[in-house]
Chains A and B, each alone.
Chain A
């Protein structure tokens, strides 16, 4: 029996605003209480973990990333495929949305350096996933103590000018990592820190590096075959002494000095506001208001940066269930929604181009965004004429590649995906094409399917 229109709309909000799109029959399954179904996913944080035994752990990924190019590239492809496979499992997929969100918050491109190519998947599996409903402090520390981020933001050769090595080599520090932690990862632009704070923080982070292949090969700079590719704190590269940052003195403490700063930054009120704003922007609306941002920021602060409590506050916002679904799915979310709606498995490696080529044309390949600010969250970045044309053509490509004779009639499938939330014009349009191929491509392009 069809759901009440109001209930079907709430289900659509759960699946599209917060999830990765319904599988057939989804609205019926969660229809009586979509919010409860959503909160239920938040009660099972382990569902975010990828338990496949074939993917490398930290030590192996790091070591392999500092050998030839072919191996890390192969690992990277396996990791990306594993991420997609995981995204098809849950009924709604809020945890997978959160994984993508936080990974994008710490965005990197694998093309900057082999150290990233070979470890980005491991970083996401072992640092992001265990913390998407856990501690932001732990996530931040884990990302910054990882060779991928050290390589991506050029901290690997950052040397304190007054350190022993700095004095003997005349080397200096690089402030990229410190700047982006403040500007992008924690407090955000307008957070109140100064240029002097950026510089102070950069000095504090001197010596945070990783073991490059040549250092392991030559047992140089503390590298060896045991720690090949791994994060390393180089004490003799580290700027000595206490350093003032945002009015607080951080005494000399080696690596702990930088960790102390990160711990403070992680739970700073400006960080809370920044992260809450980004969550509302990503999930709810292009126009976050204080009424939406403040409760989420409060939950973050009062829980000491607990992302489970923060996400619950987001789901609890009245606006989460009342605002119209006006944002556009990103191309990546759209691809996952296509698989889920049609019961299609993630393509085998030989056919994986059916995923990557549309993502390439739509500029949304996972882990390949160049700048550190991450794929944009604003609809305007995705809703443009050429991209809509490519969405249309690639929807047809999807149907042609994966369409099966036993797929349901498109009109029936649309009912199973949206129930009573399917608009009348969409219902009428689905009956127009003469064949199921055209009708199925049309279904994948309906506003009901594109918006979230």
Chain B
């Protein structure tokens, strides 16, 4: 037997990582199609030119005013006190904004027009509750009042025609099961765990038992091991000893890179709830941003040549108070940033209408006002990057959102010809999951007719 103390040490690191994810989960409705044969690289129908999308949910409420500093706003330094980041320390984006110095890779991508920022954005709900606002980010609904809903990315999978590459190749959750992918459409899953993998001495006899008496377990386990190896594959230049967060981004990159792999991946990154001691150019938040930045670099390397077809969106449930609080931190707020990166992004630009930080401009005398509904960002990427019909976006994917105009200019080459018609609404989608009892009753009703 191994020494449990070694495992305790490994766990202390591994668990610290997984604690970074706020515990916040949603089980997927149907997962029967997980890692179907179509997913693995043997598929002759594979097309490498498909668009890729990575959605990163930053859980905890990321302080947009520290991530992208409004260097041109005269009220910023006064409001922020000892957590204000001096303009000289930021990476200059344009005359009005500077990037947090920890975001080195993102800054380089911005300079190459492969990264962009949307500032002063927020989910439609403005109640400053982590739980409700994360729900709102992921369910894509107009505001509060909805529980037990499906996620907007799952509705995308349900609504698109079955021949669409996104539907054919699917979407994958990396790590915890997020609400954004919850619903009837099957999705894939991969968890970047730190547990030591079982060796051949266990796998071989086990798989021979499965092969003989339990084929479903055989099929699942072989594909699970294969997919894990694919996600974790590394070359000599990779540092193997990285955090679970970075492993997750690498794995997402490897999986999206596969010609017949999934086309959409979702990741969660936690620990943005900086109520105290958040730091400025250095400190707690800077460390979190540096890790995210390294993870984006890892992803870019892993996804390889598909980077040019990729959009990465990092979005969070809300921003933080404009004023520093008494603990050198910030409390739950409203307006914040969304970060976009990838070869398909129309980068090098800070998007959005800057409302200003003057006392009269603050939302409820507290927060950066949100001038862009986050749904406009999501809709813009889906419309511009994945060619999702506008009618489908307005009705099925983001219900009752016709008034929220997609920010299609976020995506490079948005002037290209779209093949989808704006009026298409696609296959019917469910805004609530259908429980098993409904199927039973439908069958009973059919039987008694």
Which of chain A's residues have a CB closer than 8 A to the CB of B15? 353, 357
Residues of B within 8 A of A (CB): 1-2, 4, 7-8, 11, 14-15, 18, 22-32, 34-35, 131, 135, 145, 147-149, 176-177, 179, 182, 188-191, 193, 195-199, 201-206, 208-210, 212-214, 216-217, 220-228, 433-438, 440-442, 444, 447
Which of chain B's residues have a CB closer than 8 A to the CB of A381? 27-31
Contact between chains at A445 and B131 (CB < 8 Å)? no
Q: Which bracket fits the contact residues of A? A: 35 or more
Contact between chains at A401 and B7 (CB < 8 Å)? yes
Minimum distance in angstroms from B307 CB to a CB of chain A = 25
| Stretch from A2-10, A127-135, A274-282 at the B interface | A274-282
Contact between chains at B213 and A425 (CB < 8 Å)? yes
Q: How far is the CA of A396 from the CA of B182 in the complex (A)?
A: 30
Tell me, yes or no, whether A243 is within 8 Å of chain B by CB. Answer: no
A-B contact pairs, 25 of them (CB 8 A): A109-B24, A111-B22, A111-B24, A111-B131, A112-B131, A183-B148, A278-B436, A361-B191, A369-B27, A376-B27, A383-B220, A384-B35, A385-B227, A387-B220, A387-B224, A393-B197, A395-B198, A397-B7, A400-B7, A401-B4, A402-B4, A425-B213, A435-B201, A437-B1, A438-B202
Contact between chains at A369 and B437 (CB < 8 Å)? no
Contact between chains at A370 and B179 (CB < 8 Å)? yes
Tell me, yes or no, whether A165 is within 8 Å of chain B by CB. Answer: no
Tell me, yes or no, whether A386 is within 8 Å of chain B by CB. Answer: yes
Q: How far is the CA of A154 from the CA of B146 in the complex (A)?
A: 10
Q: How far is the CA of A176 from the CA of B258 in the complex (A)?
A: 42
8 Å CB interface, A375-434 against B: 375-378, 380-381, 383-390, 392-397, 399-405, 423, 425-426, 429-430, 432-434
Q: How far is the CA of A265 from the CA of B14 in the complex (A)?
A: 47
Minimum distance in angstroms from A74 CB to a CB of chain B = 16
Which of chain B's residues have a CB closer than 8 A to the CB of A293? 440
Among B148, B222, B438, the residue within 8 A (CB) of A371 is: B148
Contact between chains at B206 and A386 (CB < 8 Å)? no
Contact between chains at A277 and B436 (CB < 8 Å)? yes
Which residue of chain B lies nearest to A372 when distances are taken between CB atoms in the complex?
B148
Among A174, A176, A384, A399, the residue within 8 A (CB) of B31 is: A384
Q: How far is the CA of A402 from the CA of B8 in the complex (A)?
A: 12
Contact between chains at B198 and A432 (CB < 8 Å)? no
Of residues A109, A351, A384, A441, which shows the largest number of chain B Cβ atoms within 10 Å of its Cβ? A384
Which of chain A's residues have a CB closer than 8 A to the CB of B436? 277-278, 281, 377-378
Tell me, yes or no, whether A363 is within 8 Å of chain B by CB. Answer: yes
Tell me, yes or no, whether A263 is within 8 Å of chain B by CB. Answer: no
Which of chain A's residues have a CB closer than 8 A to the CB of B435? 183-184, 188-189, 373
Contact between chains at B198 and A403 (CB < 8 Å)? no
Tell me, yes or no, whether A288 is within 8 Å of chain B by CB. Answer: yes
Which of chain A's residues have a CB closer than 8 A to the CB of B145? 174-176
Minimum distance in angstroms from A328 CB to a CB of chain B = 8
Which residue of chain B lies nearest to A389 when distances are taken between CB atoms in the complex?
B224
Minimum distance in angstroms from B290 CB to a CB of chain A = 25
Among B2, B30, B434, B447, the residue within 8 A (CB) of A400 is: B2
Among A111, A274, A351, A354, the residue within 8 A (CB) of B23 is: A111
Given A385-B223, A389-B224, residue A442 in contact with residue B206 (CB < 8 A): yes
Tell me, yes or no, whether A50 is within 8 Å of chain B by CB. Answer: no
Which of chain A's residues have a CB closer than 8 A to the CB of B227? 385-386, 389
Which residue of chain B lies nearest to A350 when distances are taken between CB atoms in the complex?
B8
Tell me, yes or no, whether A167 is within 8 Å of chain B by CB. Answer: no
Contact between chains at B206 and A445 (CB < 8 Å)? yes
Minimum distance in angstroms from A5 CB to a CB of chain B = 15
